[in-house]
């Protein structure tokens, strides 16, 4: 009677483990929608009577008519000219407010371009009024 | 003369560490990805100036097809039919967290009117901090 059995070495089969793991990686990569976490910030003016003292007549008024078509203080300008104009005004008065008015049909990125330019020039008071506010201001003859 | 017969060695590829590498990659991707609760695909506008926005901010997305999606930052986004529905949703969020940041994730070619409607809703329902998501713009070479 042969009592000695052959020893087989104990083994965990791990060959397929890598396949499973790579499958999971591919699945997560294909289903992931990455979120962008950077952008431009702006705050609405607080409902504080102290802050409402800004006179819109004193502000630089930028009207965006279309891609590359801007009217700054009632004068037509290109984006570069506008940058120079705003910068010269900022040198005189760094607190000077800037109002951006965008026509409804203009693509969103044009407004972002202007907003970005103003941020580059470190304009502190940028105001983006909504259509209803513009309508209200028009009553006072501030906008064209 | 007795020739020594070499024992045949079975050829194997060592794959045991493959799984370790794959799982390491999975863990890396899991830790570094941040998922967006709003899965609407948009082509964001580009800007040079970008700052970090709050990762838990509420999101309003406007797709190129003018679809409006809202998420409070935790629950998945809901499709909205009209911008009027946005008001009550914003109000709920502001009631819970008055200083919650709202992010606008709009497609670059969306007419400004759609963005304006969202801004209007945010403003009239008490939102204070607004972020406009953008992609990084590569500065123009040569200074022009």
**Is A128 part of a structural domain of the chain?**
yes
> Chain B residues with CB inside 8 Å of A119's CB?
47-49
Structure tokens at A2: 């042969």
Q: Which chain A residue shows the shortest CA-CA distance from B24?
A: A21
- What is residue A54's predicted lDDT score, i.e. its pLDDT? 55
Residues 77-136 of A with CB under 8 A from B: 102-113, 115-116, 119-120, 128, 130-132
**Is A4 part of a structural domain of the chain?**
no
Average pLDDT over residues B76-105: 86
Mean pLDDT of chain B: 83
Nearest CA-CA partner of B104 in B67, B131, B65, B74: B131
**Is A121 part of a structural domain of the chain?**
yes
Name A140's Cβ contacts closer than 8 Å, sequence gap at least 6: A56
- Using CB atoms, which residue from B108, B114, B120 is nearest to A130? B120
Full residue range of the structural domain in which residue A107 is found:
57-139
Task: Indicate the length of chain A as a whole number.
Answer: 144
Mean pLDDT of chain A: 79
- B128/A46 touch (CB, cutoff 8 Å), yes or no: yes
- A107/B103 touch (CB, cutoff 8 Å), yes or no: no
Q: How far does the CA of residue A95 sit from the closest CA of chain B (Å)? A: 20
> Model confidence at A3, in pLDDT bands (50, 70, 90)?
low
Phi, psi of B36 (to 5 degrees): -95, 135
Structure tokens at A138: 């028009």
Residue A50 pLDDT exceeds 60:
no
CB of A33 within 8 Å of any CB in chain B?
A: yes
What is the per-residue pLDDT across B4-48, written as a single tens digit (0 to 9) for each? Answer: 777 788 888 777 788 888 888 888 887 877 666 777 778 888 888
The domains located in chain B, with CATH, are 46-136 (3.30.420.270)
**Higher pLDDT, residue B56 or A112:** A112
Q: Which of B27, B34, B42, B49 to mutate to test the interface with A (most CBs of A within 10 A)?
A: B49
Measured distance CA(B110)–CA(B121) in Å, rounded = 17
Q: Which chain A residue shows the shortest CA-CA distance from B123?
A: A44
| Nearest-5° Cα angle at A138, A133 to A143 | 100
- What is residue B112's predicted lDDT score, i.e. its pLDDT? 92
CB of B105 within 8 Å of any CB in chain A?
A: yes
Phi, psi of B95 (to 5 degrees): -65, -40
| Domain tally, chain A | 1
Residue B144 pLDDT exceeds 60:
no
What is the per-residue pLDDT across B101-119, written as a single tens digit (0 to 9) for each? Answer: 898 989 999 999 999 999 9
Measured distance CA(A92)–CA(A90) in Å, rounded = 5
Judged on CB neighbours under 10 Å (0-12, 13-18, 19+), B85 is middle
**Is A28 part of a structural domain of the chain?**
no
- B29/A25 touch (CB, cutoff 8 Å), yes or no: yes
- What is residue A46's predicted lDDT score, i.e. its pLDDT? 57
- CATH number where A113 lies: 3.30.420.270
Contact by Cβ (8 Å): A99, A62: yes
Phi, psi of B22 (to 5 degrees): -60, -45
């Amino acid at each position: 009677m042969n009592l000695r059995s052959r020893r087989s070495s104990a083994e965990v089969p791990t060959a397929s483990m890598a396949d499973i793991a790579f499958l999971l990686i591919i699945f997560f990569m294909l289903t992931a929608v990455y979120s962008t976490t950077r952008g431009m910030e702006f705050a609405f003016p607080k409902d504080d009577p102290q802050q409402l003292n800004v006179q819109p007549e004193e502000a630089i008024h930028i009207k965006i008519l279309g891609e590359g078509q801007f009217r700054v203080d009632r004068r037509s300008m290109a984006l570069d000219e506008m940058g120079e104009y705003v910068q010269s005004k900022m040198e005189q008065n760094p607190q000077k407010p800037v109002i951006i008015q965008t026509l409804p049909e203009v693509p969103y990125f044009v407004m972002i371009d202007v907003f970005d330019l103003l941020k580059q020039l470190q304009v502190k008071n940028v105001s983006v009024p909504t259509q209803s506010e513009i309508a209200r201001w028009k009553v006072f003859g501030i906008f064209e | 003369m007795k020739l020594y017969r070499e024992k045949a060695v079975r050829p194997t590829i060592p794959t045991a560490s493959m799984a370790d590498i794959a799982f390491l990659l999975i863990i890396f991707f899991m830790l570094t990805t941040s998922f967006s609760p709003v899965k609407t695909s948009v082509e964001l506008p580009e800007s040079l100036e970008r700052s970090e926005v709050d990762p838990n901010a509420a999101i309003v997305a406007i797709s190129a097809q003018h679809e409006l999606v809202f998420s409070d930052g935790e629950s998945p986004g809901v499709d909205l039919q009209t911008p009027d529905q946005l008001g009550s949703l914003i109000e709920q969020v502001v009631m819970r967290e008055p200083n919650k940041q709202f992010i606008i994730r709009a497609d670059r070619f969306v007419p400004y009117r759609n963005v304006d409607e969202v801004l209007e809703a945010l403003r009239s329902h008490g939102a204070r901090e607004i972020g406009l998501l953008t992609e990084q713009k590569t500065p123009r070479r040569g200074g022009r």
